[in-house]
Amino acid sequence: MNLPRGYISYNQVKLYQICPQKYYYTYVEKIPAPINDKVFLGMVFHAVAEHFLKERIAGREQTKDSVLQVFDDKFLSLQDDYDIVWVMPSADVEKRGLAFVKHFLREIANAIDPLMVEEELEVELPGLGIKLKGIIDLVEKDFSITDFKTTTTKWTKEKINNSYLQMVIYKYLFEKSFGDVITQLKFRIVYAKGASNIRNQLVSRNACDFDIDKMFGVLKYVTENISSGVFYKNESFFCGYCEHLDRCQKASSVQTP
């Protein structure tokens, strides 16, 4: 099957589901697009959590100040890798990020017993002839999988339900690589609009409650459409945040469904 990256991933599926034409601009045309400061902050937070948890696995001691220093270093160095649209002043974004990391250290870190961090896995999907790839934020020693999210508000039930495909994909990747051991699938969401009143939400579900057949159905539908060149505009409120809006308004659909 002909896929632009040679594999499918949750991020690709999510983007295709939001808008096939946006998928086309991003993965087929590879048109570079800036990221907003919230997405950037999420990347920095992930990089800090990864560093912290890998150091814990290695048994190296870390102080609050050393972790905050890692945040400052990553916040600066990662700016070289991305074209960022600063909606808020960068100093305010940095303050919010530091508050997120302090909250993580105070409220979340002690409860984590890491086994694997940022583990990249790839398996061949039987019957579909394609590779499925993913990077799992955290697998703990109780064989639970966690994905960290940073956002402005608490996730709704609808948002949680719509996001669980990501965790089912991670469970599938892990179990095909290491055996059927996964117990829980968790989202750990750190949220606040600014640098104060930081909260976190833990959403946890039993791993066996999820339907792998359903996951296969979604992956089959999306990959067959991509392979056949089915890319159409799916106009929605997401267009207001779309970095390809100007280009899209001047273009017709690449292909209608």
Residue partners of 188: CB distance under 8 A and separation at least 6: 108, 146, 147, 148, 149, 200, 201, 202
Does the protein bind ligand SF4 through residue 238 (CB under 6 A)?
yes
User: Of the candidates 9, 12, 21, 223, which one interacts with ligand SF4 according to CB under 6 A?
Assistant: 21
244 binds ligand SF4 (CB under 6 A): yes
The Cβ of residue 246 has, within 10 Å, a number of other Cβ atoms equal to 9
Q: Which is nearer to ligand SF4, 14 or 56 (CB)?
A: 14
Q: How many residues does the chain have?
A: 257
Among 19, 47, 48, 169, which residue interacts with ligand SF4 (rule: CB under 6 A)? Answer: 19
Between CA 58 and CA 69 the distance in angstroms is 19
Q: Does 123 bind ligand SF4 (CB under 6 A)?
A: no
Q: CA-to-CA distance for 108 and 88, rounded, in angstroms?
A: 26
The reply to whether 233 sits near ligand SF4 by the rule CB under 6 A is yes
Provide, rounded to whole angstroms, the least separation between the CB of residue 198 and ligand SF4. 31
To the nearest whole angstrom, how small is the minimum distance from the Cβ of residue 28 to ligand SF4?
Answer: 12
Pair of tokens at residue 80: 């070289």
Count of residues in contact with ligand SF4, rule CB under 6 A: 12
Is residue 105 involved in binding ligand SF4 (CB under 6 A)? no
Closest C-alpha among 75, 104, 80, 103 to residue 91: 75
User: For residue 210, which of 178, 186, 179 has the smallest C-alpha distance?
Assistant: 186
**16 binding ligand SF4? (CB under 6 A):** no
Asked if residues 67 and 52 have their Cβ atoms less than 8 Å apart, the reply is yes
Region of 18-26, 75-83, 154-162, 215-223 interacting with ligand SF4 (CB under 6 A): 18-26
Q: Which of 245, 250, 255, 256 binds ligand SF4 (CB under 6 A)?
A: 245
Contact with ligand SF4 (CB under 6 A) among 208, 217, 235, 256: 235
Phi, psi angle pair for 4, to nearest 5°: -55, -35
**Tokens representing residue 102 in the block:** 């302090």
> Is residue 242 close enough to count as binding ligand SF4 by CB under 6 A?
yes
Contact characters 192-231, ligand SF4, x per CB under 6 A = ----------------------------------------
The b-or-e profile of 211-228 (16+ CB within 10 A means b, else e) is eeeebbeebeebbebbee
Closest distance to ligand SF4 from the beta carbon of 246 (Å): 9
Neighbours of 48 (CB within 10 A): 24
- Could you list the residues that contact ligand SF4 (CB under 6 A)? 19, 21-22, 233-235, 238-239, 242, 244-245, 248
